Amino acid sequence: MADIFVSYSRLDQERVKPIVDRLISLGYSVWWPEHAPSQKFIDQTQGELDQAKAVLTVWSVDARNSTWVAATAAHAWDQGKLAQVRIDGVDIPAPFGALPVADMRGSGEWGPLGDALERIARDGAGPQPANGEPSIGALAAPAAAGAPKVVTIAIGTTLAAFMGAVTATINGAMTSGQLQLALTGMLGVGAVCAAISAHRLYAIRRAGG
């Protein structure tokens, strides 16, 4: 089990590696996926995501368009262990913009990010919204409300990404191999969402909901 799970777009791997190296130099153990998705990757990722003390989401223009990044960020928020960092001029998607986001553009803001990870990974204190109001969590909803919010968000985002990928392939902007890789990633998100739903329903059942 790693101290910190790093969620990011694989297109940003070269920009994310220095962040990972810095975390390791600070004494954290880090898990970050460096290879293309596979069934073994999906199973291992689910376990690492659940067991990590903190989840660091690295937001970028590419990460904003990744259903995988959105799903893991929402899951981490619900578990009270989400930290966020921005590496370009991306607008942080809702609802994650309600939480503090360290800015690592230019000289960066390692101090705020380091403090956030210290609180979450070592002190067990969850993230607080930027306005100071207590966080209710991305999955917080009455039992009767049905599916967790993160699943609804992830399904909608996945469908949009699927339509975009198909359209790009038809228009020649994406090769069939790239489409296959995108679909594999979407299947990975589906597996994570299914696991989250099962966990949520189990918790509701134990609570008598």
Q: What is the per-residue pLDDT for 113?
A: 81
- Residue 147: pLDDT over 90: no
Nearest to 142 by CA among 207, 75, 54, 55: 207
**More confident site: 85 or 42:** 85
Q: What is the per-residue pLDDT for 146?
A: 43
- Residue 66: pLDDT over 80: yes
- Residue 179: pLDDT over 50: yes
Nearest to 11 by CA among 30, 40, 34: 34
Q: What is the per-residue pLDDT for 63?
A: 95
Q: What is the per-residue pLDDT for 106?
A: 72
Window from 21-35, 50-64, 81-95 with minimum mean pLDDT = 21-35
Helix axes 67-78, 39-51, angle to 10 degrees: 30
Q: What is the per-residue pLDDT for 45?
A: 82
The terminus-to-terminus CA distance of the chain in angstroms comes to 31
- Residue 74: pLDDT over 80: yes
**More confident site: 176 or 105:** 105
**More confident site: 145 or 48:** 48
pTM to 2 decimal places: 0.60
